[in-house]
Amino acid sequence: MNEPGLHRLAVAQLAELVQSRQISPVEIAEAFIDRATKLQPTLNALITTTYDQALAKASLAEAEIMKGNYRGPLHGIPIGLKDLFWTKNIRTTSGSAVTADFLPTEDATVVAKLQNAGSYSIAKTNMVEYAYGGAEHNDLYGAPLNPWDLECVTGGSSSGSGAAVAAGMVPLALGSDTAGSVRSPASLCGLSGLKPTYGLVSKYGVTPLSWSQDHVGPMAKTAEDLAIAMDAMVGHDPRDPSSVYRKPESYFKGLSTDISNLRIAVPSNHIWQVMHPEVRKAFWNAMGALEALGAKIEEVEIPELDYISIAQVTITLAEATSYHAEMIRARPNDYHPGVRRRIETGFFLPANAFVDALRVRSLMERRWNELFATYSLIATPTNPIYAPKFGENEMRTQDGLITTRELVRLTRLFNPNGLPSASIPNGFSLSGMPIGLQLTGKRFDDRLVLAVGHAYQQVTEWHKVFPAI
């Protein structure tokens, strides 16, 4: 039996049905596979599907649960994987013709962890080639379309993951985030998305873009679902040099954290230089809601924000070019022109520019520490605009024109220093496109970030609205 409403349920809701045996993992798998099969021709959210394998794993999960071996809230829950996560004997293209036939001999660590929790993948999701871009067309696989408006971008580079979760093709998907590639598609598609603290989630078996700024993170309907995913994903991995050891803690249990009297900083500089008025209004409405919950909202100036944004771009350029140097010299014409241009530009990057970027990152580390000595969180909009239409280079507002190049200007601020940062649904534009709220904490305060996002979702309904598709 396929339940027609299952695609609208959050992971936590599906888990309750599975645990109470009101519905079986096989029925859930069939429902989401049917949904994905129906919508893929329209949305182009997937690259490789693994439906037969998914059904087999769902059947195994069902047998385990019937025997009383329930592993937890991800047991029997299908997911999507951005197509740069290695999957054993399943092609991992990274969205590129260069690696279109790559068959990993093992799973990425985080994929294995989710499988150990009882989950399974039904598809590898579409993405910007090698995760190097915010919303561009993919020459090989085409661009995923936004379920809220098929003429609009989903945001990148985890574009297929955003589209797939928003449309109910999967209830949970993984992405990678170097400048906002989890948070931006989450925001533009009306989802919750988390960039965890750098080093908390292993990157082993994940094709890199910028090794010192890449983060692996989940995308789902709610902050609660993100916490469930994090409980399964976190853990030290000796195969990842950036992986850190932390005493185990439950992100799900952390959702009950009291946020009253919490001091939240809103940057008074840099953030508001370019901002759609509808995004600005939604943000301040959210601050009012958090104040009603007892939080203290204060505007503060944060020095060097302009510089950290430039540093992020510079570090990405240098590290991406280093990784791709051999391949792009051998097969330049197999890269998307925009991606190729960025990578080749890195060959001309002066060494002192890279060193200066690292110095800025060190300086910002001190600035963040100073800020978090007084404040618990930073709040900003996720994106300064809502999803633009494909080919739209400028968005006209009552305040003037905003270029779509500004899309990840606010998200990239928090990658160089590895701060945990989440996007939470925060309303809609007058045209009906989702808007996101970004919450950022100090390193390893992921539980607090999720707790505030969860508290906000208890007094709002934005995460319960679905596209009409």
Strand order in the sheet with 172-177: 46-49, 120-125, 78-82, 172-177, 215-220, 192-195, 421-428, 434-441, 377-381, 263-267, 296-300
Which of 94, 158, 181, 423 is labelled catalytic?
181
pTM across the whole model: 0.97
Helix (H, G, I), strand (E, B) or coil at 147: coil
State what percent of residues in the chain have pLDDT above 90: 91
Contact between 174 and 201 (Cβ < 8 Å): no
pLDDT (mean) for 197-203: 98
Tell me which H or E stretch contains 159. helix 159-166
**Quick check: 4 pLDDT over 60?**
no
Which of 57, 82, 195, 221 is labelled catalytic?
82
pLDDT (mean) for 81-103: 98
pLDDT in tens, 315-324: 999 999 999 9
Confidence tier at 1 by pLDDT (50, 70, 90) = very low
Strands (E) located in 1-140? 46-49, 78-82, 120-125
pLDDT (mean) for 205-224: 98
CA gap 456, 436 in Å, rounded: 12
On the CB side of 342, how many CA atoms lie within 13 Å of its CA? Answer: 23
Contact between 131 and 176 (Cβ < 8 Å): yes
- Catalytic site includes residue 82: yes
Mean per-residue pLDDT of the chain: 96
Angle formed at CA 306 by CA 305 and CA 310, multiple of 5 degrees: 115
Largest separation between any pair of C-alpha atoms in the chain: 62
Instruction: Characterize the bridge pairing of strands 172-177 and 215-220.
Output: antiparallel
Tell me which H or E stretch contains 300. strand 296-300
| Preceding omega of 157 cis (within 30 degrees of 0) | yes
CA gap 55, 58 in Å, rounded: 5
Tokens of 74: 């991800």
Structural domains in the chain, sorted by start: 6-255 (3.90.1300.10), 258-464 (3.90.1300.10)
Tell me which H or E stretch contains 427. strand 421-428
What single-letter amino acid sits at 267?
A: P
Confidence tier at 384 by pLDDT (50, 70, 90) = very high
CA gap 403, 271 in Å, rounded: 15
DSSP codes, 97-136: STTTT---SS--HHHHHHHHTT-EEEEEEP-SGGG--SSP
CA gap 68, 79 in Å, rounded: 23
Q: What share of the chain is helix, strand, coil (3-state, %, to 5)?
A: 40, 15, 45
CA gap 149, 160 in Å, rounded: 15
DSSP codes, 381-412: ES-SS-PPBTT--EEEETTEEEEGGGTTTTTG
Which of 24, 119, 121, 157 is labelled catalytic?
157
Q: Residue 215: phi, psi to the nearest 5?
A: -130, 145
Helices (runs of H) and strands (runs of E) counted in the chain: 12, 13
350's torsion region: left (phi>0), alpha (psi -120 to 50) or beta?
Answer: beta
pLDDT in tens, 232-275: 999 999 999 999 999 999 999 999 999 999 999 999 998 988 89
Tokens of 323: 């990784």
CA gap 387, 152 in Å, rounded: 6
pLDDT in tens, 409-426: 999 999 999 999 999 999
On the CB side of 171, how many CA atoms lie within 13 Å of its CA? Answer: 30
**Quick check: 126 pLDDT over 80?**
yes
- Catalytic site includes residue 253: no
Contact between 30 and 55 (Cβ < 8 Å): yes
Residue 373 CB neighbour total at 10 angstroms: 8
- Catalytic site includes residue 181: yes
Tokens of 433: 């496109």
pLDDT in tens, 388-401: 999 888 887 777 77
How far, CA to CA in Å, does 260 sit from each of 270, 290, 294?
A: 28, 9, 4
DSSP codes, 317-335: HHHHHHHHHHHHHH-GGGS
Residue with tokens 């962890």: 113
Task: Give the contacts of 20 (CB within 8 A, at least 6 positions apart).
Answer: none
Question: Which pLDDT belongs to residue 135?
Answer: 67
Confidence tier at 112 by pLDDT (50, 70, 90) = very high
Q: Which residues pair with 424 in a beta bridge?
A: 437
**Quick check: 340 pLDDT over 80?**
yes
Helix (H, G, I), strand (E, B) or coil at 362: helix
pLDDT in tens, 294-328: 999 999 999 889 899 999 999 999 999 999 999 99
What single-letter amino acid sits at 249?
A: E
Question: Which pLDDT belongs to residue 224?
Answer: 98
